Amino acid sequence: MRDPASSFFQCTDKERAIFEAGIKLGTIYHQYVGVPLNLSNLESLEIAIRQSALVQPFVEDAEVTIDRDMVSKRQGTYKYLTLSGDMLRVSIKIRYNSVTVTGRLRYVKEMDYPLMYFE
Q: How far is the C-alpha of 53 from the C-alpha of 63, rounded, in Å?
A: 9
Least Cβ distance, residue 71 to its own copies (angstroms): 11
Q: How far is the C-alpha of 58 from the C-alpha of 1, rounded, in Å?
A: 7
Residue ranges in contact with its own copies by CB under 8 A: 4-5, 8-11, 14-15, 18-27, 29-38, 40-41, 44-45, 47-49, 51-57, 76-80, 82, 84-85, 103, 108, 111-113, 115-119
Least Cβ distance, residue 100 to its own copies (angstroms): 14
Least Cβ distance, residue 73 to its own copies (angstroms): 12
